[in-house]
Amino acid sequence: MSGFPDLTSGNRPVGVVSFAQHDNVRREGAHNEVEMLMPVVAEVFGNIGITKDNVGFICSGSTDYLVGGPFSFVAALDAVGVWPPRAESHVEMDGAWALYEAWVLLQEGEIDAALVYSFGRSSPGNLSEILALQLDPYYMAPLWPDPTSLAALQAQAMIDAGLATEADFAAVAARARRSALGNPKAQVAYDRSPEDLLTEEYEVAPLRRHALPPLTDGCAAIVLAAGDRAYEWCERPAFITGIDHRTEAHAIGARDLTHSPSTKLAGEKAGVARSGVDVAELHAPFAHQELILVDALGLGPDVDLSPSGGALAANPMMSAGLIRIGEAARVIWSGRADRTVAHATSGPCLQQNLVCVLEGV
């Protein structure tokens, strides 16, 4: 045991002590959601030698719109096995927000550990149509705007404001996919120059294929443990020293898409700038969004950005944010980093954002 870091958020140190994720694939056609989750839950417990009986709370993130079936999150609990009955909750959001709920409960002090998991598939339905339904039902959703077109509006606004160029987007994508070569769970990884990427055709101008996230089926799980329990299960826990999430207006036209005030505020509340950042795992599904996030979080040129490849390497719906927290924790466990930032987003054009600061002692 080596003590606990100073906390910006909360007053009870809670550490990320285990992380597992499914292979990220374009289409997982053989297994249903429960069958996908079972090995991931077994791995996240097995990594630290515990069972479901060692966690006092279970929280998951998913959305039934992806599966096309009601109460799929209830059925997914079969992957854990919940007998005797146990405290459980679910958010219709990325698993990063499920982790936030578990962190809040751990702050209250009644439990010492929690399982967080998330699952989602991009393959069963038409993702562009499904994501259109998260927009306001009167003015936007009836137009069925797809997420790539909305992101392209954002990217074009950045170009028009003189904040970035298409070459900047290509540079982000080239670096992320090159980093992804070192990530065995990456779905898209390659070593190509930004110049080469700029020869691609537009998908939706000004976004070319390289600036888009892959369509991914996957799932992920994390175990949180508080206080001394974190050290029982992990040699060097990644303690959550700051965590906060903020949202922006639902109406896209009411926002300045070139900046992310919600990320900026969440980053301030989570204390990102209180000390140096070694690694930042950013949930930027579209390449240009990384530039917005780096600016909002005030990350300098010395910060290692998304060494996993980020959401450009694999973008499992509902899990890509939780995976950022897992990846930001892993580099602390290994000793490669002491202080990391994980970010998760939800909604179109970075509408809602969560920032989590992790520190090892």
User: Rounded to the nearest whole angstrom, what is the least distance from the CB of residue 71 to another protein in the complex?
Assistant: 12
Please pick, from the candidates 12, 43, 56, 82, the single residue that binds another protein as defined by CB under 8 A: 82
Question: Alpha-carbon distance 296 to 120, whole Å?
Answer: 28
Residue 159 sits in the site that holds another protein (CB under 8 A): no
Nearest CA among 212, 184, 228, 165 for reference residue 14? 228
Question: Alpha-carbon distance 151 to 88, whole Å?
Answer: 35
- What binding mask, one character per residue, do residues 300-339 give for another protein by CB under 8 A, x or -? ----------------------------------------
**DSSP-based three-state secondary structure for 227:** helix
Please pick, from the candidates 1, 2, 138, 162, the single residue that binds another protein as defined by CB under 8 A: 138
Please pick, from the candidates 10, 12, 43, 52, the single residue that binds another protein as defined by CB under 8 A: 52
Are the C-beta atoms of residues 236 and 326 closer than 8 Å to each other? no
The region of 131-139, 298-306, 325-333, 345-353 touching another protein under the rule CB under 8 A is 131-139
User: Rounded to the nearest whole angstrom, what is the least distance from the CB of residue 274 to another protein in the complex?
Assistant: 40
Question: Alpha-carbon distance 329 to 209, whole Å?
Answer: 30
One-letter identity of residue 57 = F
Q: Per the structure block, which two tokens stand in for 330? A: 């892993």
- What binding mask, one character per residue, do residues 163-202 give for another protein by CB under 8 A, x or -? ----------------------------------------
Nearest CA among 106, 102, 51, 101 for reference residue 80? 51
**DSSP-based three-state secondary structure for 18:** strand
Eight-class DSSP state of 319: T
Please pick, from the candidates 78, 110, 160, 196, the single residue that binds another protein as defined by CB under 8 A: 78
Residue 133 sits in the site that holds another protein (CB under 8 A): yes
Positions touching another protein (CB under 8 A) are 28-32, 34-35, 38, 41, 52, 65, 67-68, 75, 77-83, 121, 123-126, 129-130, 133, 137-138, 141-142
